[in-house]
Amino acid sequence: MTETLDAIVVGAGHNGLVCAGCLARAGLNVTVLESAAQCGGMAGPRSLDRDYHIPSLAHTAFPLAEHVRHDLELDRHGYVPGPPAATISLQPDGRHLRLTGHEVSGADLHDADRSAYARFADDYGGFARALTPLMTTRPPRLKDMDFTDKKTLARLGWRIRMGLGKASMYEFLRVVAMNIYDVLDEIIEDERLKGLIAADAVIGHNAGPRSPGTVLTYLMRRFNELGGPMYVVAGNGSQVIDALAAAASGLGVSLQYGSTVEKILVENGRTTGVRLNGGAVLKAPLVVSSADPRTTFLDHVGASQLDAMFTQRVSQIRGAGGIAKLHVALSGAPDFKGLDNEALADRLLIAPSMQYLERAYNHSKYAELSDKPLLEITFPSAHNGALAPAGHHVMSVNIGIAPYELGSGWDAVAQTLPYEIIATIGQYAPNLSLLVVSHEFLTPPRIEQEYRVRGGHWHHGETTIHQSFMMRPLYGAAQYDTPVDGLFLCGAGTHPGGGITGLPGHNAAKRVLELAT
């Protein structure tokens, strides 16, 4: 290949594709190297047996931010977010709660809680909106600030002070570093409702409702919701990924599958390209990695090309996955007690109270998996019949809060645990176990291995306060550029973090173009 590349993007996850597309749009000659045979990474499609298809890890998503959609003309490439999905919190006694947007309903739910929730949803939507200036650009440096940094901070300050108003700003500053348990306990009585809300603050994280920083994780989720309501990922594979790949290709990005990066090459502190497994070398002055920071720095770059303290900080990144995933092929639609068949199109939660979640997390802390785990269940086939044979379904279950290292070893439970989970869900849908055709079980270590993310964390690293904003993924690489000249990060491990938002990729591309041109 004699053609000279301007940039190599490592990994064709959604952030890698967004970044590659934005760089190509600015005129750069970009190649994306993807280890798998398809793009999408954790948000890509997956097959279960031959006849059943299911989204990999991201089985729900929010619409991408408007500016990402616009810049890559995603709508022209067939991007249509799915229809809004409600969240149903299953209750053992059948008094399920149903939540759509700011409205929550259910048996025995008091009006006071109903309106408290509406206010809460409003307030926290406002708080999330106030973070917009910070989320849609590189996080500002606090030392040696440049004009952009000052502008970001000024806009953030303005949004918090003037956008929220005085009283709301005080409330924002009061709660932002709190835990979700205390906040919800202040304003809501109903245990079911508190469990439902708290589930969204802890799912995917190594945290219980009482863990510090869970208001922040909740706000980040609410921020993602600003682009539109949550939907169940159910395209033929995934709408986002297909549209992103089409958009990137349309902009001239070359997508190379089956290309596993072994090393990011560094000479005299500057990257020169990558070496693939098998020895082929691709040269480029810019390398943008959407792999997680630990994989990028410790495996691809290597400690010998980095400073010692930086390496140590990288190795300390908190990024053990908190989720195991169960995929089940079903020969028919399960009947959930107290729900009609249409509810299969919604998101079902087993998170009946905050105490339930806190106990699930307690086990995780001690390298155990609770026998009463947090479960998040979707039926992508309810949205797209092509995912399963006629009349059949696929069920996607997130299991939290799973320890990355299970004391008894994941292998020991990999055979039995899926049936226990199915039995747990079966308490709400008695015919479920009769419908099971087959299943696959993704433990955190298997997620780590299959998706090449150290720790197997959805967000490539916890979005705790010490790993967020100008500290994400870590001091020394928090503005997408790294200690290696020409090497940038653009994955979920960077600001503003995980979720199918495209924001890390978009922000990173801006930073690459700013520094490289």
Partner 1 sequence: MTMIEKTHFRQPLGRSPFHPRIALLSQSEEWTSWNGYMAPRVVAKLSTEYFAVRSGCSVMDLTPMEKYRISGSDARPFLDRLVTRDISGLAAGRVTYVIWCNDEGKLIDDGTLFQLGQNDYRLCSQHHQLDWLRTSAIGFDVQVEVETQQVAALAVQGPTACSVLAEAGFDDLQALQPFRFQQSACSGLPVMVSRTGYTGDLGYELWMKPNDALPVWDAIFAVQGRYDIHAIGLSALEMVRIEAGFVMPGFDFNTAESTIRAGYDRSPYEVGLGWAVSLDKGQFTGRRALLAESARPAKRRLMKIVVEGNKPVGASFIYDRRNGRQVGEIKCAAWSPILKANLALADIEFDNGRLPRELWARIDYQRELKWHSAWARCHVSEKPFYQPGHRGLTPPNRY
Map residues 477-506 to x or -, x wherever contact with partner 1 holds by CB under 8 A. Answer: ------x-----------------------
Nearer to partner 1, 325 or 454 (CB): 454
In whole angstroms, the minimum distance from the beta carbon of 297 to partner 1 comes to 9
b/e burial code for range 475-502 (CB count within 10 A of at least 16 → b): ebbbbbbbbbebbbbbbbbbbbbbbbbb
Per CB under 8 A, 144 contacts partner 1: no
Give the integer Cα–Cα distance in Å for 98 and 346.
10
Per CB under 8 A, 315 contacts partner 1: yes
Per CB under 8 A, 143 contacts partner 1: no
Nearer to partner 1, 189 or 307 (CB): 307
Q: Which tokens in the block code for residue 256?
A: 């190379």
DSSP code of residue 24: H
Query: Per CB under 8 A, which region of 113-121, 162-170, 311-319, 352-360 contacts partner 1?
Result: 311-319
Per CB under 8 A, 145 contacts partner 1: no
Give the integer Cα–Cα distance in Å for 214 and 220.
10
Nearer to partner 1, 94 or 269 (CB): 269
Q: Which tokens in the block code for residue 492?
A: 């979920």
DSSP code of residue 328: E
**Nearest residue to 374 via CA among 406, 403, 339:** 403
Per CB under 8 A, 269 contacts partner 1: yes
Map residues 209-248 to x or -, x wherever contact with partner 1 holds by CB under 8 A. Answer: ----------------------------------------
In whole angstroms, the minimum distance from the beta carbon of 309 to partner 1 comes to 4
Q: Which tokens in the block code for residue 134?
A: 């910070």
Per CB under 8 A, 17 contacts partner 1: no
- Contacts by residues 75-79 (CB-CB < 8 Å, ≥ 24 positions apart): 76/247, 77/242, 77/243, 77/244, 77/246, 77/247, 77/250, 78/239, 78/242, 78/243, 78/246, 79/239, 79/240, 79/243, 79/244
Specify the pairing of strand 286-289 against strand 324-330.
Answer: unpaired
DSSP code of residue 144: S
Q: Look up tokens 């106990």; give the residue.
A: 359
Q: How far is CA 292 from the centre of its chain?
A: 12
Per CB under 8 A, 304 contacts partner 1: yes
Can you tell me which of 20, 43, 306, 394 binds partner 1, judged by CB under 8 A? 306
Distances (CA, A) of 401 to 218, 220, 398: 16, 19, 9
Per CB under 8 A, 199 contacts partner 1: no
Nearer to partner 1, 217 or 311 (CB): 311
Per CB under 8 A, 289 contacts partner 1: no
Give the integer Cα–Cα distance in Å for 45 and 229.
22
Nearer to partner 1, 309 or 412 (CB): 309
Per CB under 8 A, 303 contacts partner 1: yes
In whole angstroms, the minimum distance from the beta carbon of 463 to partner 1 comes to 24
In whole angstroms, the minimum distance from the beta carbon of 301 to partner 1 comes to 10
Per CB under 8 A, 405 contacts partner 1: no
Asked whether the CA dihedral 102, 105, 111, 112 is positive or negative, the reply is: negative
Give the integer Cα–Cα distance in Å for 157 and 147.
15
Per CB under 8 A, 80 contacts partner 1: no
Can you tell me which of 311, 378, 396, 468 binds partner 1, judged by CB under 8 A? 311
Nearer to partner 1, 90 or 291 (CB): 291
Beta bridge partners of 241: none
Query: Per CB under 8 A, which region of 18-26, 236-244, 262-270, 323-331 contacts partner 1?
Result: 262-270
Per CB under 8 A, 295 contacts partner 1: no
Nearer to partner 1, 389 or 476 (CB): 476
Per CB under 8 A, 307 contacts partner 1: yes
In whole angstroms, the minimum distance from the beta carbon of 312 to partner 1 comes to 5
Residues at the site binding partner 1, with contacts judged by CB under 8 A: 266, 268-269, 298, 302-312, 315, 476, 483
